[in-house]
Structure 1
Amino acid sequence: MNKLKSLSVVAIAAAAVFMGPAAANASIEYPGEADVIVVGTPGPGETVVVDIEAGAFIAGEDVSFAVTGATAVTLAAAGQQTTTLVKTADADGGASVDVTLPADATGTYNISATGLESGQVESAALTVVAADAGAGAGAGAGSGSGSGDSADDLAYTGAGDATMLLVWAGAGALLLGGALVVVMTTVRRQRANS
């Protein structure tokens, strides 16, 4: 009878180890990769809209926008010269920001948006051609990824689903191995005392 109770306790403990994390993660929704669209011509003194499509971030999460380039830019809603701004993603997980380039803007400006809860990173690069260089217009293009593969992206430090599965499987195997040692020791002692 004692043996049956011990095995039942071990089975319940094993079930709790493997089923607990699955239940805890069941309601978490992770954002996916989305496109970054630059609306407008990135020229000196011009304003462009950097629009990140729906699904890039968790709905309602704070998104940190950062702009790096040769000179400071103005981000909408900041009201002053700045290079960072935090806005809230909309209900669909999209976000946008108006970027006003300075009158003396030249070169490339890198724009990144990072979901502060999800860690999702989306980025775009604006190439500005000086107004007196002839054409006076530049091109903007962007792409998004949550992996941080490129040197220009912010690092993605989250663990993927496969990694977490391996961690939990290893922890469960370790727990079951420890329980097996305890059960076998108890059985051996009982047999020795009989």
Structure 2
Amino acid sequence: MKNKISKASAALAIAVAAVFAAPAVASAYTPDPPAVAPIIAPGGTATIPFSGFQPEEGVQFTLTGENASGATLAFVAFAVESKSVTKSANADGVATVDVTLPANASGSYELVATGLESDATASTTIKVAATGSGAGGEGGGGVLQNTGFDGDALLGLWVGGGVLVLAGASIAVATSVRRARRA
């Protein structure tokens, strides 16, 4: 009996140590995103660094946003896609990626860097620079401000809502007809 208690106590001590050791090991490498959110013009390129990864660690970069994979999707303005690439961090734990936005880029994009060995992640939001004159100062180049919403993007919600209303109305009519026949 004494032997079983000793083994159980040892197993409990190891489990507690493992629970508290895992966060300490994971926090050894906490990546940092760029200090300033990058602004890139449609069709433009920028090199974006993330620091704090393990030396020589593989880092997967995933860009998510409208037309991120470069595909053309007719008139759908809200098609969010992702594109990934894997790079290696240097000896100082800095991983960089060159991001080239599609020529028809709009809105904002999220760039996430994930360490393949450490599972440490960091992210930054890439803003799309305005290309027309007058926006963001003389000659453009600033971030295009959101001054409203695109009603066409809500078309699916309106159609779906209409279908639900019609389905509810048909159920109500069918229930009323059944009750009238029973009476």
Under TM normalisation by the shorter chain, which class is it? 0.5 to 0.7
State whether structure 2 residue 140 is matched by structure 1 residue 136. Answer: yes
Q: CA RMSD in A?
A: 3.3
Change over 3 Å in CA distance of 1:28–1:61 after alignment to 2: same
Partner of 1:169: none
Change over 3 Å in CA distance of 1:37–1:51 after alignment to 2: farther
Partner of 2:17: 22
Unaligned 5+ runs, structure 1: 1-5, 75-81, 140-194
Instruction: State the SS of the aligned residue for 1:36.
Output: coil
Instruction: State the SS of the aligned residue for 2:66.
Output: coil
Instruction: State the SS of the aligned residue for 1:11.
Output: helix
Alpha-carbon deviations, 1:149-175, whole Å to 9, x = none? xxxxxxxxxxxxxxxxxxxxxxxxxxx
Instruction: State the SS of the aligned residue for 2:109.
Output: strand
Deviation at 1:110, TM superposition (A): 1.5
Structure 2 contact 40–126 (Cα < 8 Å) conserved: yes
Change over 3 Å in CA distance of 1:8–1:48 after alignment to 2: same
Partner of 1:103: 103
The percent of aligned pairs where both chains have the same amino acid is 37
Change over 3 Å in CA distance of 1:32–1:114 after alignment to 2: same
Distance 1:23 1:132 in 2: 56
Deviation at 1:86, TM superposition (A): 1.1
Partner of 2:30: 32
Distance 1:50 1:108 in 2: 15
Distance 2:133 2:105 in 1: 12
Unaligned 5+ runs, structure 2: 71-81, 144-183
Distance 1:73 1:39 in 2: 21
What TM-score do the two structures reach when normalised by structure 1?
Answer: 0.50
What is the number of residues matched between the two proteins? 125
Deviation at 1:65, TM superposition (A): 0.8
**Candidates 33, 36, 44, aligned match of 1:46:** 44
Structure 1 contact 67–84 (Cα < 8 Å) conserved: yes
What TM-score do the two structures reach when normalised by structure 2?
Answer: 0.52
Partner of 2:180: none
Structure 1 contact 73–100 (Cα < 8 Å) conserved: no
Alpha-carbon deviations, 1:40-97, whole Å to 9, x = none? 75112221111112x2x333332211112222368xxxxxxx8210112233333110
Change over 3 Å in CA distance of 1:41–1:23 after alignment to 2: closer
Distance 1:35 1:52 in 2: 5
Partner of 2:126: 126
Distance 2:104 2:43 in 1: 7
